[in-house]
A and B are shown apart, each in its own frame.
Chain A
Amino acid sequence: MSESLASTSSSTPPASGGIALHSVTVTYQRHPALHHLSGRFEPGSMTAVVGPNGAGKTTLLRALAGDLLLQSGHVDGLAAQRMAWLPQHSEIDRGFPISVREMVMHGLWHQLGAWGWRRASHRAACDQALAAVGMTGMEQRPIDTLSGGQMQRALFARLILEDASVILLDEPFAAVDEPTSADLLRLIAQWQREGKTVITVLHDLRLVRLHFPQTLLLARQAVAWGPTDRVLTEANWLRAQHMREPFDEHAPLCVHTEPSACTASPPASAQPVKEALAWPR
């Protein structure tokens, strides 16, 4: 990681109020994927979102990014902030005839827009971001020659240029090797030191314990949310596993209107999953 990175991103104003969720519910065909989720991402915090499959982790990111309509509840504190989002399965056409530098340069859209003239300073910022992810020398490579890990590094370089104050990452290390994820984790930590709010969906609890101060354990509702060592306990993990993965086709209407009425305990209709995932130590 280059030390010059801080100067690339120094223009980020520190996030002021954090992001507050008030009883956020998102439904698919009326079944809640996120159920009365309330809580707060502190400004400049670095939070891992973990939970079993179908827990609503990606739904939460999409809801924060404004990609989904909330069925009820609201989110405060995002209006004034610029947000960057790296989806798990990006729709990038890997066969598109474009160089790494040209692709990464799109991260400057907030400065250049559709018609802004690209100056030498923009190119320099782009090459600096590529250097920060260890891709110096690959600026001219067509993107169809990149490996999966190199592509992820390039997408992180684009995130650097986006210079957003809130960064949402969905499984950013799903398909990358150990050295690459270590490099990218250092970058995420640096973003946090610069005052950016980083929210990352992760499966690897070992990485979460090592690198993420805050954790939200999600099972459609928040099973636990706070300092990682207090959230990632065996008891909490088992409670999260109790959530039934398929929607209950005969679920009754949810009549709770008060956020506090929905507790962190699994709904009464939930049955223990027979083969609960082992508690990863």
Chain B
Amino acid sequence: MAALSSLFQAVAGPFIEFNFMRRALLGCLLLSVSAAPVGVFLMLRRMSLTGDAMAHAILPGAAIGYLAAGLSLTAMTIGGVIAGLGVAMGSGLVARHTVLREDTSLAAFYLLSLALGVLIVSVRGNSVDLLHVLFGTVLALDDAALSLLGGIAVTTLVAGALLFRPLVLECLDPGFLRRVSALSPLAHYGFLGLLVINLVAGFHALGTLMAVGLMVLPAATARFWLRSLLPLILLASALALLASASGLLISYHADWPTSPTIVLCLGVAYLVSMLLAPFGLRAQQRSSSHLQA
């Protein structure tokens, strides 16, 4: 009984006691319902590394926003969204009109963008700001930041529901979508837009380096267990929430930095699922029996 009560104290105590922990949990909840579904489509479009590149690409926008207005949420958000969309459009244009493929042109643009961002932050900011940008401030989410995360979550869910069928076809059979409908570009660029705003949301909480973790890892983990789309999305969101709550608690008790702890919790879920889940490594093993037909 005493053990149970101390477990309860350890799990729920910090959230009951501290307002900043409740805010952090709410922020993680908003990110989980919004970024994890985006991550599922990233995975299905084989764009997981694109997500990572885009996460780095938003840095100079946020840095310029910071230069212009200091640590202002609005300025850094707008800057990040502009930089992200700029890199997405620019690399798309280069890929379509030159000899370079999408992966190389995206790498070129995001590296330029990242170098510019690091330069701006190092020259003009101080190391505390740099840490803020790189690792986020999930324990210092104020009302404005939470409403931004909420707005992005609502936008993502509504737009995702509207774009769902074209997006599924764009992944499953893009040629067919182009034949039956004119929505193919809307699905593609709409999805990139959702990717960018979710990376900006994640960047406020987890920082540019780890924002993509909340997208890619839950989706990849869920894929080890399931083979149909809607359950995949639900499981990815649930895993993202569970791992970020665990990460918050562990970082609180162990006094570790929060965002790497959250990403490591997601990583543990990924590794365990890879070993145990039906479509992980087990699927490759020779099973001991087989059916007649």
Question: Footprint of B on A, CB under 8 Å?
Answer: 65, 85, 87, 90-93, 96-99, 103, 106, 109-110, 112-115, 142, 144, 162
Contact = CB atoms under 8 A, between A and B. Distances in A.
A97 B44 contact: yes
A93 B171 contact: yes
Contacts of B232: 97
B99 interface: no
B177 to A, nearest CB: 9
B162 A110 contact: no
Interface of B: 44, 162-163, 165-166, 168-169, 171-176, 179-181, 183, 223, 226-229, 232
A106 B180 CA distance: 10
B227 A97 contact: yes
Contact of A98 (B166, B168, B179): B168
Contact of A114 (B165, B172, B175): B165
B166 A114 contact: yes
B99 to A, nearest CB: 15
Given A97-B44, A97-B232, A144 B173 contact: no
A93 B173 contact: yes
A103 B232 CA distance: 17
A92 B162 CA distance: 22
B179 A97 contact: no
B166 A103 contact: no
A115 B175 contact: no
A114 to B, nearest CB: 5
Given A98-B168, A142-B228, A90 B175 contact: yes
Given A93-B172, A99-B228, 8 more contacts: A91-B175, A93-B171, A96-B44, A98-B229, A103-B172, A112-B165, A113-B181, A144-B227
Contacts of B168: 98
B229 A97 contact: yes
Contacts of A114: 162-163, 165-166, 181, 183
A87 B175 contact: yes
Contacts of B179: 65, 85
B181 A92 contact: no
Contacts of A91: 173-176
A114 B174 CA distance: 14
A96 B226 CA distance: 12
Contacts of B180: 106, 109-110, 162
A160 to B, nearest CB: 15
A97 B166 contact: no
A90 B173 contact: yes
A233 to B, nearest CB: 36
26 contacts: A65-B179, A87-B175, A92-B176, A93-B44, A96-B44, A96-B171, A96-B172, A97-B44, A97-B228, A97-B229, A98-B228, A98-B229, A103-B173, A106-B165, A106-B169, A106-B172, A106-B176, A106-B180, A109-B180, A112-B165, A114-B162, A114-B163, A114-B165, A114-B181, A115-B165, A162-B180
